[in-house]
Structure 1
């Protein structure tokens, strides 16, 4: 599964990206993830299966869905803040099943 994380500038989501990669490595899962800012997703979404957004840009979720046609969902604030990889992966797997 290839996940695109979108946030305001790609910085805080970059931290979550590193945590997700470590989570997958521990479990032997082969997924990939990239983090970009709002200004970049339209240029790269074609290379991904699903899009997840940080809470700070969840107001743009509808626009992102319309622009990309990919399954999209916002990461809940608490899960995002603490980097709850298990809950985030539950959302990711649900989205991937919609593809």
Structure 2
């Protein structure tokens, strides 16, 4: 099972994206746990994740979160801005899979 954490300022703006990603994962037969949290919970929640995607508005936290994620051997990346704006669950799910690799 793939475990994908999305983090944004409050955790609210990614809720639609989480739903779209879950729908896409089900449609292709993948088992995935996808959830969103606010920036204040990102470090704690990343311990349960295979990858962390952050909202474009949180780009300023990327280096800090990457440093923490190194402890767990996971990657942190900013969600593609166009995909984020359009709540393109397929594109963001594929971005996450590319970062997870063979994990």
> Is residue 2:97 matched to residue 1:93?
yes
Query: What is the match of residue 75 of structure 2?
Result: 71
Structure 1 segments, 4+ long, off by >3 Å, are: none
Kindly provide the CA deviation profile for residues 9-64 of structure 1, in whole angstroms up to 9, marking residues without a partner as x.
00011121111111112222111111001101122211111000111112211110
- Worse overlay, 86-95 or 16-25: 86-95
Aligned-residue CA RMSD in angstroms?
A: 1.4
Structure 1: stretches of 5+ with no match in the other structure:
none
So what's the TM-score if we normalise by structure 1? 0.90
- Worse overlay, 81-90 or 6-15: 81-90
Distance change (3 Å), C-alpha of 1:40 and 1:89 = same
Q: Which has the higher helix share?
A: 1
Equivalent pairs, count: 99
2:5 counterpart SS class? strand
